């Protein structure tokens, strides 16, 4: 059946049109009858074309061709040199039964991988990049990129493995230099020839692979025929007798020999032979219908190669003795004398001497039976060529994703098929380097580790015959086997993967592939959020979860940085942007740009824009609706309205009412004032400037991003608010930029009880386990302020007073109705004492904290009958005249600190 990914045999443009049409029951390309197909009979109408018979016929042909290509490639890569060079020796060591068990265990792991790969391959359209493309688009760049890098290297290593296997075969007895250097010379020449075939293009490579496949089929058929034909004296002297029941029984059980004689060593040698299942995936960009070809081709290849891998130990184990001398003179005759021990005696041969002295040169345990030399050549060369082609294509895709630096050079493609010529050369160099090693078994073990590592894989796949448990089984077994084979090599491999993973995780490449990591992160966050709903709040776990009225965050960087300084990694931060309906419009991509700005600034915060008629209305909605479950703000953070004297009365009223609403909502409150003239709130009143041109470029550094050294954080804890005034500076000192800052706590007291007040506060701080040891008792806070400072305050509020006692014929009540924000003479006098205390406190703050890095002052709770302008003047007076940021802070009178353990 032709699937949609295959049937775009025409241009992409034509394919996109076809997707809009309804398909028939026969295929996705064949269409149901539609009126549009007959509109050519109408004037000035263009008929919608139905697919031609040729297109329908080619579609089925393409599917078969694509499937055939995938099967052939997978079978060629699975039929590696281990089948011909090592499987007979493994049978002699492990016995027929355990060898079959090794085969089935390997197939179980690779089948689980194949099922997972099939599911991923049918979960959307795939392009070139093979295994790396599938994994990276499923698990994300953090996991996909390291695996892609290692997998490219593993394929280059596998190319060297099969080339060395080919070079080791010498049935002709020729010697160039010596056995080791001959392998190196022949291997380098061979891989060079394979490189030229690869550079010639995929057509040449495909034709070469078909020739190798035919050679393999002939070789395997010849081997099976050879097991049933009679064997002469020479072959019998080498231990080859044909099918004999007694030989089969003797070879059933293991006979471990040498330092490598154990089950897991044999498993380690054999396992790479089954990992060629990924070869079809690795050329997915060259398949016409990868979503159909990969599942069917891979699973069919596993099935047929598994049969062949089981046939070899069963047949060779039934035909060949473990030990044989190779000497024709050891044949038993009527006149033979001497002791004869072993199964060979029953077959007419006396191999007792070489068996007892362990000097036998032939037999399964002593020589590598190449079975059919042509098969060795075909298997090794086909696998080497397949890996030499797949490694560059995987690496090319990785290079083009720009995940890692300095590798983009190898991503360039050439010709109509976009061949990665530079990556071919790189793979060739790596293969040559390992061929020079010359040791086949050494490369086998290295290859095994990389292949095992890459069998760890992870939706709406069209392939339904997969299981998450099978995938989990494959991953667990793969990791377990790596450590069982050679634990130190496994640690080195995982260290490389971890380093590559951390690099990608740190650099956070700007890619979004809709990976399963994103889906998993969402599911975990959702599950954790829901589970929190059933957990009661506790003081020990309190953390300030902040709703910050930043407006566009990039226009209030100091406010953003201040809150991020004590919320990052430990609590919730939401940047609320109130967009005035009557004043402002925003570009459509403003949200994305602002989030991008915060991410580049490494601020961990959500961004929530909200349209409203005013600051108070918007803040009230945010206070009520922000957050999710227990992840809900409990602290509102504002910027100080420094232009309040020039603002309209309605604006001041709106700002102060926002503070009232905060306390009414049982929220904590922080107001940040920057003394360098940064006005945070006034931007709410004007049209928000277009930020689309700025993007993430306006990264202005603020004082909160600088190292504060040994400056002090001065806390004026005037009122007991539950401890928030102390908690915020404590959280700040846990940050690197503030860790050397010394926190000083100022409290109110009198001279008579100063020592007692000091001791009580020190004891309280110790019970809270806060490392604040510097406590200053302010004994002069109730003194009358200097007259000039008091006069300055009176002058600042003069424009907002009613002066009702000086106006004749008009009552104070009438004046108040016309201007409710203004301060009557009676109100001014009633709050005189409070005004004087705030002016006096400012004098103390300016005297003690001119060189501080940050000042925190308890925010006075506004009384319901306090005029807005007067309260605004109090806030201004408390924090004026300082050279550092100042924070007016107030908890909601509920404890956020405790000295109890429960």
Superfamily (CATH) of domain 542-674: HUPs (3.40.50.620)
Distance CA 701, CA 285 (A): 47
Highest mean pLDDT among 300-304, 436-440, 663-667: 663-667
Query: Per mean pLDDT, which range of 31-45, 154-168, 504-518 is the poorest?
Result: 31-45
Among the ranges 57-66, 374-383, 871-880, which has the highest mean pLDDT value? 871-880
Three-state DSSP at 806 gives: helix
The share of the chain scoring above pLDDT 70, in percent, equals 75
244 CA to centre of own chain: 57
Band (383; pLDDT cuts 50, 70, 90):
confident
The domain spans of the chain are: 72-324+360-507, 542-674, 706-805+812-901
Return d(Cα 20, Cα 250) in angstroms, integer. 67
Q: What is the pLDDT of residue 656?
A: 92
Residue 429 vs residue 17, higher pLDDT: 429
Beta strands in 551-625 (DSSP E): 573-580, 606-612
**What are 744-754's pLDDT values in tens digits?**
999 998 888 89
Can you tell me the mean pLDDT for 575-601? Answer: 83
Contact (Cβ atoms closer than 8 angstroms) between residue 719 and residue 858: yes
Residue 24 to residues 1, 8, 30, 32, 843, Cα–Cα distance (Å): 12, 16, 6, 5, 86
Q: Reduced to 3 states, what is the DSSP secondary structure of residue 239?
A: coil
What CA–CA distance (Å, rounded) separates 425 from 430? 9
Enter the tokens of residue 94: 């492990």
Residue 107 pLDDT > 50? yes
Residue that has been written with the tokens 């190319």 in this structure: 159
Report the pLDDT value the prediction gives residue 714, as an integer from 0 to 100.
Answer: 96
Provide the token pair at 166.
């080919």
Residue 868 scores a pLDDT above 60: yes
Residue the block writes with tokens 């493994």 = 90
Q: How many CA atoms lie within 13 A of 303 on its CB side?
A: 8
pLDDT, residue 470, reads: 62
Indicate the range of 27-36, 510-519, 562-571 predicted with least confidence: 27-36
- Local structure of 149: helix, strand or coil: helix
Res 169: pLDDT? 67
What integer is the mean pLDDT of 581-605?
Answer: 82
Is residue 442 pLDDT above 60, yes or no? no
Cα separation, 833 vs 771, whole angstroms: 35
Describe the strand order of the beta sheet including 606-612 as a list of residue ranges: 606-612, 573-580, 546-549, 635-639, 668-673, 886-890, 854-858, 712-716, 742-748, 774-778
b/e 566-585 (16+ beta carbons within 10 angstroms → b): bbeeebbbbbbbbbbeeebe
Average of per-residue pLDDT values in the chain: 78
CA nearest 831: which of 862, 795, 856? Answer: 862
Per the listing, tokens 């300095």 go with 406
State the pLDDT at residue 124: 60
Select from 639, 645, 591, 594 the least CA-distant residue to 615: 639
Task: Calculate mean pLDDT across residues 410-422.
Answer: 83
Q: Is the dihedral of CA 149, 150, 151, 157 positive or negative?
A: positive
User: 117-127 pLDDT, tens per residue?
Assistant: 777 776 666 66
**Per-residue pLDDT reduced to its tens digit, 77-101:** 777 667 777 788 889 899 999 999 9
**Cβ contacts of 227 within 8 Å, gap of 6 or more:** 242, 243, 315, 316, 319
SS3 331: strand
Nearest to 380 by CA among 421, 423, 424, 435: 435
pLDDT in tens, 466-508: 555 666 666 676 677 667 666 776 777 778 878 887 887 777 7
Query: What per-residue confidence (pLDDT) applies to 135?
Result: 73
Q: At what angle do helices 130-139 and 516-532 cross, to 10 degrees?
A: 20
Write the pLDDT tens digit of every residue in 841-866. 999 999 999 899 999 999 998 888 88
CA 292/CA 1 separation, integer angstroms? 9
CATH architecture for residues 72-324+360-507: Up-down Bundle (1.20)
Query: Assign residue 258 a region: left if phi > 0, alpha if psi is -120 to 50, beta otherwise?
Result: left
Q: Of 6-10, 235-239, 702-706, 721-725, which gets the smallest average pLDDT?
A: 6-10
CA trace torsion 92, 97, 98, 99 (10° rounding): 60
Least confident piece of the model among 167-181, 603-617, 653-667: 167-181
End-to-end CA distance of the chain: give it in Å, rounded: 66
pLDDT at 615 over 50: yes
State the residue for tokens 């990276």.
136
Q: What is the pLDDT of residues 301-349, one digit of tens each?
A: 888 889 988 998 999 999 999 888 888 888 887 666 678 888 888 888 8
Q: Considering the chain, what percentage of its residues have pLDDT values greater than 90? A: 22
pLDDT at position 792: 92
Task: Please give the structure tokens belonging to residue 508.
Answer: 């956070």
What φ, ψ does residue 858 adopt, rounded to 5°?
A: -60, 130
The CA R_g of the chain, rounded to the nearest whole Å, is 40
Cα–Cα dist 889/716, whole Å: 10
Per-residue pLDDT averaged across 516-530, rounded?
Answer: 76
Residue 406 has pLDDT above 70, yes or no: yes
The three-class DSSP label of residue 68 is helix
What is the sign, positive or negative, of the torsion defined by CA atoms of 606, 608, 614, 620? negative
Strand partners, 133: none
């Amino acid at each position: 059946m032709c699937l949609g990914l295959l049937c775009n045999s025409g241009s992409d443009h034509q394919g996109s049109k076809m997707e809009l049409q309804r398909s028939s029951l026969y295929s996705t390309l064949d269409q149901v009858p539609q009126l549009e197909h007959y509109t050519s009979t109408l004037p000035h109408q263009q008929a919608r074309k139905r697919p031609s018979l040729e297109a329908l016929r080619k579609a089925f042909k393409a599917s078969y061709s694509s499937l055939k290509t995938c099967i052939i490639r997978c079978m060629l890569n699975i039929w590696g040199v281990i089948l011909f060079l090592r499987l007979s020796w493994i049978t002699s060591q492990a016995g027929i039964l355990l060898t079959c068990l090794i085969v089935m265990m390997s197939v179980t792991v690779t089948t689980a991988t194949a099922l997972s790969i099939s599911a991923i391959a049918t979960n959307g359209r795939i392009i070139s990049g093979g295994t790396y493309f599938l994994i990276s688009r499923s698990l994300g760049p953090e996991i996909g990129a390291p695996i892609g890098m290692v997998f490219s290297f593993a394929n280059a290593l596998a190319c060297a493995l099969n080339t060395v296997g080919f070079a080791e075969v010498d049935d002709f007895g020729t010697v160039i230099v010596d056995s080791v250097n001959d392998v190196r010379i022949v291997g380098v020449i061979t891989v060079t020839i394979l490189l030229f075939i690869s550079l010639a293009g995929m057509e040449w490579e495909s034709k070469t692979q078909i020739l190798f496949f035919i050679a393999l089929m002939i070789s395997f058929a010849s081997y099976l025929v050879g097991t049933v034909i009679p064997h002469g004296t020479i072959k019998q002297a080498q231990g080859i007798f044909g099918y004999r029941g007694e030989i089969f029984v003797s070879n059933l059980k293991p006979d471990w020999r040498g330092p490598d004689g154990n089950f897991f060593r044999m498993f380690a040698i054999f396992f790479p032979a089954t990992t060629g299942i990924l070869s079809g995936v690795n050329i997915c960009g060259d398949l016409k219908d990868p979503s159909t070809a990969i599942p069917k081709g891979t699973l069919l290849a596993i099935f047929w190669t598994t049969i062949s891998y089981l046939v070899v130990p069963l047949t060779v184990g039934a035909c060949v003795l473990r030990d044989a001398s190779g000497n024709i003179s050891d044949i038993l005759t009527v006149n033979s004398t001497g002791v004869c021990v072993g199964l060979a005696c029953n077959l007419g041969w006396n191999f007792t001497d070489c068996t007892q002295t362990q000097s036998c040169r032939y037999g399964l345990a002593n020589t590598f039976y190449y079975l059919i030399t042509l098969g060795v050549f075909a298997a090794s060369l086909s696998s080497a060529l397949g890996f030499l082609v797949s490694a560059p294509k995987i690496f090319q895709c990785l290079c083009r994703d720009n995940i890692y630096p300095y590798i983009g050079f190898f991503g360039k493609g050439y010709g109509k098929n976009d061949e990665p010529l530079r990556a071919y050369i790189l793979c060739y160099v790596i293969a040559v380097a390992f061929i020079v090693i010359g040791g086949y078994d050494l490369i086998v073990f290295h290859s095994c580790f990389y292949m095992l590592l890459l069998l760890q894989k992870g939706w709406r796949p069209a392939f339904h015959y997969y299981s998450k448990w099978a995938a989990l089984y494959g991953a667990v077994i793969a990791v377990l086997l790596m450590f069982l084979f050679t634990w130190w090599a496994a640690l080195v491999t995982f260290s490389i993967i971890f380093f590559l993973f951390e690099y990608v995780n740190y650099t956070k490449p700007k890619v979004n592939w809709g990976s399963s990591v994103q889906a998993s992160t969402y599911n975990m966050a959702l599950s954790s959020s829901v589970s929190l709903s059933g957990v009661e709040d506790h003081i020990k776990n309190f953390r300030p979860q902040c709703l910050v009225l930043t407006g566009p965050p990039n226009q209030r960087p100091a406010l953003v940085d201040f809150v991020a300084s004590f919320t990052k990694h430990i609590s919730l931060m939401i940047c609320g942007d109130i967009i005035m309906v009557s004043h402002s419009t925003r570009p459509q991509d403003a949200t994305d740009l602002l989030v991008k700005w915060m991410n580049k600034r490494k601020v961990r915060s959500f961004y929530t824009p909200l349209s409203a008629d005013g600051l108070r209305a918007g803040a009230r909605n945010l206070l009520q609706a922000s957050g999710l479950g227990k992840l809900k703000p409990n602290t509102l953070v504002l910027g100080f309205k420094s232009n309040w004297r020039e603002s309209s009365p309605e604006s001041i009223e709106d700002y102060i009412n926002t503070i009232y609403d905060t306390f009414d909502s049982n929220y904590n409150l922080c107001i940040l004032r920057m003394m360098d003239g940064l006005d945070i709130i006034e931007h709410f009143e004007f049209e928000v400037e277009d930020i689309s041109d700025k993007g993430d470029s306006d990264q202005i550094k603020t004082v909160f991003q600088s190292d504060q050294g040994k400056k002090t954080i001065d806390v004026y804890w005037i009122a007991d608010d539950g401890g928030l005034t102390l908690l915020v500076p404590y959280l700040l000192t846990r940050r690197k930029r503030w860790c050397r800052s010394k926190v000083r706590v100022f409290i109110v007291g009198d001279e008579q009880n100063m020592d007692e007040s000091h001791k009580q506060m020190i004891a309280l701080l110790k019970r809270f386990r806060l490392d604040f040891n510097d406590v200053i008792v302010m004994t002069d806070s109730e003194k009358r302020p200097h007259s000039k400072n008091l006069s300055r305050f009176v002058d600042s509020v003069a424009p907002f007073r009613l002066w009702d006692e000086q106006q004749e014929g008009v009552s104070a009540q009438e004046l108040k109705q016309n201007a409710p924000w203004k301060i009557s003479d009676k109100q001014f006098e009633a709050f005189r004492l409070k005004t004087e205390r705030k002016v006096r406190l400012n004098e103390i703050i300016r005297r003690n904290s001119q060189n501080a890095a940050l000042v925190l002052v308890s925010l006075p709770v506004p009384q319901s009958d306090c005029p807005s302008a007067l309260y605004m003047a109090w806030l201004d007076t408390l924090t004026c005249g300082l050279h550092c940021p100042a924070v007016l802070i107030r908890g909601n009178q509920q404890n956020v600190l405790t000295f109890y353990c429960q």
